[in-house]
Chain A
Amino acid sequence: MRNILFAVAILLAGLGISSPYHFQLLTFIGIHTLLALGLNMLMGYAGQISLGHAAFYGIGAYTTAILTAHFNWSPWLALPAALFLAVLIAFLVALPMLKLSGYYLGMGTLGFGMITYVLIREWSGFTGGDSGLVGIPPLEIGPVSLSSGRACFYVVWGTVVLGFIVCERLVNSRVGRALRAIHDSEQAACAMGINTAQLKISVFMLSAFLAALAGFLYAHLVSFISPNTFDFLTSIRIVTMVVIGGMASIWGSLLGATLITLLPEWLHIFSDYEMVVYGLVLMVIMIFLPQGLTRGLLDIYERSKRRAGVPSTTAKG
């Protein structure tokens, strides 16, 4: 139901907006939502920290860019290749890495992110190095080119809706319960007969899949990519989106991605102090809504309802 409303809202927004600037902004919010959604499955639900998520974003983007720009593949052929490569690498990385936990897993994924970034930057024959890779063709469906702002908007947000539906179904299934169980106590989850190692690897692969998908869309919509888009700061920004939006909340990914994408745009008026205000906003949100925006706003709403004399029926813990 919520997803239908969401899809209708997107449809109307696409029809109502005309400014290219707004389309571009919304498209980026969509791409960031995909990234945050993937990381939220890993971090919010399964409780595994990844500080190298931009690597999968980059692998998705660069695979499709190289295949289409250098080898003249059709983007639709490059898409499965990009996704497959990212998922494969995620599997290989996860095998040894997910034996780690907590800070150590964070360090490990951080290292992986750095390695990927350096590889992209230094392997200039293929990737164009620091000067980036140009000439990535736009997406096409038959004769229709999807290069206009509105088309990009619909492609990205259509993918987001699909991602939401898939993840929501997953979260409410027995697998979703198992993921949350790993988050709470890996040992207890193990005693329930949950194959925790396998499940952690699977969710890591899922989140790499979503990140690579975001990378694919980014590469074809912007048609130019450079290593800096996929550096360490991007990984951190994705983590911030998840934490600010709300861990273990699918809609929190949307909220977090929206805020983190829009904030720099709004804060231009502070010019020199932009980054200071940016940091302050994040601090204030974390201090007053430590559970993230989604849970925090829901709590405020429930509290106000109670104050108005209507007893709240939802239990909180």
Chain B
Amino acid sequence: MLRIRNLKCYYGRIRAINGVSLSVKPREMVALIGANGAGKSTLLQTICGLLPGWEGDMRYEKEPLSGLRPPEIVRRGISLVPEGRLLFPPMSVLDNLKLGAYLRYRRREQAAINGDLEHVLDLFPVLRERARQPAGTLSGGEQQMLAIGRALMARPRLLLLDEPSMGLAPFLVKLILDILVQLKDDGMTILLVEQNARAALQVADRGYVLENGHIVLDGPADELLADQDVKRAYLGKDYREFYDGRA
């Protein structure tokens, strides 16, 4: 569905991604893990067209993504749940969701949009309770749900998530990831970027490990979970205890 070959991304003259190749198949959940500064967010933003300075080959459903601006990429069915959620805090939950469907309003899909709105509010019942509240007054977990709901409003076929677990309590992380699994079972393709490697690999089908702009490892998620290098670098014994104690 998404195939990236030898991608290089630049911030001015600094190269943040150094020849990355990866692929996501339809109805698959792929986890991209790596430490701070490995280039995970850069990769996602590049796919969405937010960072125009890249070289290499990126194809979505066999069509090249080069030279496309974000509106066209969203229109083709790729939605991003950005890092740190980036909601529109003074606007109501409903307005935030409607903004997710921004491009579809022009095509007069009013009925379909309202249907999707109901669908998202069914998926996240807490958002229905808070529909008229400003998004800024929601708790962290609710904000993350809103960010995911907003991305779903564009009716994507490929959903990109940038650290959805950031700053959330473990039970909320589990809740969010369960929803992703549910979305995947309904036919969504998901590329999940996470620092919380264990949680991500537990729900994903496959995983890639990104380090300093390179893919250093890839494979089925359960193999990565068992891999000695991954364990040492990202799962760590202390970390595992910490996590298992709470999840």
Contacts and interface: CB of A to CB of B under 8 A. Distances in A.
Contact of B154 (A189, A192, A316): A192
A189 B91 CA distance: 13
A297 interface: no
A177 B75 contact: no
A4 B134 CA distance: 29
A22 to B, nearest CB: 38
B86 A191 contact: yes
Contacts of A187: 50, 82, 86
Interface string B134-157: 101100000000000010001000
Contacts of B87: 184, 188
A187 B82 CA distance: 9
A317 B134 contact: yes
**Which of B71, B73, B100 gathers the greatest number of chain A CB atoms within 10 Å?**
B71
A141 B48 CA distance: 54
B98 interface: yes
Interface residues of A, number: 19
Given A181-B91, A315-B134, A192 B50 contact: no
Interface string A6-50: 000000000000000000000000000000000000000000000
Given A184-B88, A187-B50, A192-B100, A177 B133 contact: no
Task: Tell me the dominant secondary structure on chain A's binding face.
Answer: helix
Interface residues of B, number: 31
A185 B86 contact: yes
A181 B88 contact: yes
Contacts of A89: none
A188 B105 CA distance: 18
B198 to A, nearest CB: 27
A189 B150 CA distance: 11
Contacts of B70: 190-191, 193, 195
A45 B95 CA distance: 14
Interface in A191-225: 191-195
A184 B91 contact: yes
A317 B100 contact: no
Contacts of B134: 315-317
B91 A180 contact: yes
A178 interface: yes
Contacts of A192: 74, 99-100, 102-103, 150, 154
B80 interface: yes
B153 to A, nearest CB: 9
Pairs A-B, 4 closest by C-beta atoms:
A193-B74, A317-B134, A188-B86, A184-B88
Interface of A: 174, 177-178, 180-181, 184-185, 187-195, 315-317
9 contacts: A174-B99, A174-B105, A190-B70, A192-B102, A193-B70, A193-B73, A193-B103, A315-B133, A316-B134
Given A185-B88, A191-B74, A315-B132, 7 more contacts: A174-B106, A188-B88, A191-B82, A192-B103, A193-B74, A194-B99, A315-B134
